[in-house]
Amino acid sequence: MDETFINKIKSAAVVGAGGAGFPTSFKLNAKPEYIIVNGVECEPLIQVDQQLAALYAPALIKTLDIIKSNLNAKYAVFAIKEKYHKAFESLNKEVSKYQNITVKTLPNAYPMGDEQTLVYETIARIVPEGGIPLNVGAVVVNTETLLNIGNALDDKPVTEKYITVNGDVKNPKTFKVPIGISFRELIEEAGGATVSDPVLIDGGPLMGKVQRNLDASVIKTSKAIIVLSANHPLIIAKERPISSMLKIAKTACCHCMLCTEVCPRMMLGHKLRPDKLMRLASYNSTCEKDAAATEAFLCCECRLCEYGCIMQLQPWKLHQELKKRLSQAGIKNPHHNVPEKVNQFREFRRYPTEKLVRQLGIAKYYHNDAPLSEYKKEISKVVLSMRQSFGAPCEPIIAAGEKVKIGDKIAAVPNGALGADIYASIDGTISKADKNVIIIERG
Ligand code: SF4
Ligand code: SF4
Model confidence pLDDT, tens digit, residues 254-290: 989 999 999 999 999 999 999 999 988 887 766 666 7
Does the pLDDT at position 314 exceed 80? Answer: yes
Residue nearest to atom 2 of ligand 2 (CA): 305
Does the pLDDT at position 132 exceed 80? Answer: yes
Residue nearest to atom 3 of ligand 1 (CA): 253
Could you tell me the pTM of the whole model?
0.95
Give the distance (Å) from ligand 1 centre to CA of residue 256: 5
- % the chain with pLDDT above 90: 93
Residues 63 and 114 both lie in one domain: yes
pLDDT computed for residue 80 by the predictor: 98
Residues 254 and 355 both lie in one domain: yes
Residue nearest to atom 4 of ligand 2 (CA): 302
Give the distance (Å) from ligand 2 centre to CA of residue 178: 34
CB 123 within 8 A of CB 36: yes
* Pairing mode, strands 409-412 and 422-423: antiparallel
Residue nearest to atom 6 of ligand 2 (CA): 299
Model confidence pLDDT, tens digit, residues 224-244: 999 999 999 999 999 999 999
Residues 243 and 355 both lie in one domain: yes
25-43 residues labelled b (16+ CB within 10 A) or e (exposed): bbbbbbebbbbbbbbbbbb
Q: Which of 122, 153, 184 is the last residue of a domain?
A: 153
Residues 172 and 145 both lie in one domain: no
Across the chain, what does the average pLDDT equal?
A: 96
Residues 356 and 372 both lie in one domain: no
Give the distance (Å) from ligand 1 centre to CA of residue 276: 9
Residue nearest to atom 8 of ligand 2 (CA): 263
Question: Count of H helices and E strands in the chain?
Answer: 17, 19
Give the distance (Å) from ligand 1 centre to CA of residue 274: 8
Model confidence pLDDT, tens digit, residues 212-222: 999 999 999 99
CA distance 155 to 281: 52
Does the pLDDT at position 371 exceed 70? Answer: yes
CA distance 156 to 154: 6
Nearest Cα residue to 438 out of 408, 409, 410, 405: 410
Residues 371 and 350 both lie in one domain: no
Residues 36 and 180 both lie in one domain: no
CA distance 13 to 159: 9
Give the CATH number of the domain where residue 29 resides. Answer: 3.40.50.11540
Give me the number of domains the chain comprises. 4
Where in the sequence is the domain holding 117, given as residue range(s)? 3-153
Give the CATH number of the domain where residue 419 resides. Answer: 2.40.50
User: Ligand 2, closest atom to CA 274?
Assistant: 7
Residues 78 and 101 both lie in one domain: yes
CB 322 within 8 A of CB 296: yes
Edge-to-edge strands of the sheet including 395-396?
395-396, 409-412, 422-423
Does the pLDDT at position 96 exceed 90? Answer: yes
Residues 355 and 389 both lie in one domain: no
Residues 145 and 181 both lie in one domain: no
Give the CATH number of the domain where residue 167 resides. Answer: 3.10.20.600
